[in-house]
Amino acid sequence: MQWIKPFIKASFALCAGNTIEAYQPIDFFHFYPLWYDVWIKRIADVIRILDLEHKKYSEVDHLLSTPSNMRALLQMIIASYQGLEHRNPGDYKIVSEFFARMLMEACPRDPFGNNSTPLYSDDEVKIIVEQTGWQEGNPTAGRILGKLITASGSLVHGLYNDLVTDYGWDAYGPFTFDKYSLLIRHFPDFQPAGIWPAEFFSSVKEIKIFGLYEGVEWQIACVGCHTTATKGNPVTDLKKYCVVVDGKTMTLEDIETLILELSHKAEALYREIRKKDFEELKYMVMLQESFQTKKLFDAANIDWRPTPEMLSRIQGKPLLKNLIPHGTMMSSIQEYVTIYGIDLFAKEVLGETLGDFV
């Protein structure tokens, strides 16, 4: 499988113009290497138990998270490697190549998200358009959908944090249908049992927002929460829309009520997070990170939650230092490759020499 170079070029968008201080609630890049090798070994064991190396995406998609989440997870697998005290390249190879292959099969036209997430084929898009209960778009609806996306994203950031945002928020497309562009925003799980008490959950579990736009061009910069319109106006150029919540089509009045609920839940959750001390934040982040592979672990009848060994790696331990420089804003792919240790990962895990990126 030749995947690391196209992945690098696409995933650079996750770091370009950013510094590690921008990520909250802690410095993930100096935290994950404390324990990631143990977690990656557990995922590799699950892959072996379920014989996933010999199964296609279509056979196991129900056990996987969204494409954006698999992309973000791949980036953290790679970035954590250089900071490990005890490296396990064999397990890292099994896990990284599994997720890379799943992305190549799920989105063959743009697996790593250079500018899109083409999760559906042209025939599937046609069926989606035909079966969706469209409502007429207008600027009022466009503004309300924008508020819904903002409120949903705010709660997702609390439930899953900055580096696991993509587990709870993705966007599929853009797809071309007649004279329209179709974009599907997906919030798959507002009720992550095992991470938070139910009092912080929304009353709904899943939201899908379908939009048909005329004259709007979109770019998905590797992950769905970074979707932007590069041409046109998503508010005034929304021609048709449909919001489906737990399988039910919502009216604009229903959506406005839901926006208030999501916003209030997000506010309560942020207040709860701000109460946590450093040790509690480390445990929260480890739990959120582990939750990404819960469905795989459940299928293998293995507890997805952090093990005693994982917990012992972080309890009372400070973050690592000097892996990724603070205050450095990524300005080139070559800088990204070097600073994040991607060249080391490619050499030791994949047996590849990257060379220069121009």
Length of the chain in residues, anyone?
A: 358
Residue 151 is predicted with a pLDDT of 98
Other beta carbons within 10 Å of 18: 13
Tell which residue, 243, 68, 213, 240, has the closest CA to residue 147: 243
Task: Tell me the pLDDT tens digit for each residue of 184-203.
Answer: 999 999 999 999 999 999 99
Residue 206 CA to residue 150 CA, distance in Å, equals 15
pTM of the model: 0.96
Give the residue extent of every domain in the chain.
4-113+293-350, 122-274
First to last CA, the chain: 22
Specify the 3-state DSSP secondary structure of 127: helix
Mean per-residue pLDDT over the chain, rounded = 96
What tens digit of pLDDT does each residue of 88-146 get? 999 999 999 999 999 999 999 999 999 999 999 999 999 999 999 999 999 999 999 99
What pLDDT, on a 0 to 100 scale, did the predictor assign at position 357? Answer: 62
Q: Using one digit for the tens of pLDDT, what is the confidence trace for 319-332? A: 999 998 888 888 89
Q: What DSSP element (H or E) covers 57?
A: helix 57-60
Mean pLDDT of the region 281-310: 98
Residue bearing the bigger pLDDT, 163 or 345: 345
Q: Do 212 and 241 touch, CB atoms closer than 8 A?
A: yes
Average pLDDT over residues 225-242: 97
pLDDT 10s digits, 244-275 = 999 999 999 999 999 999 999 999 999 999 99
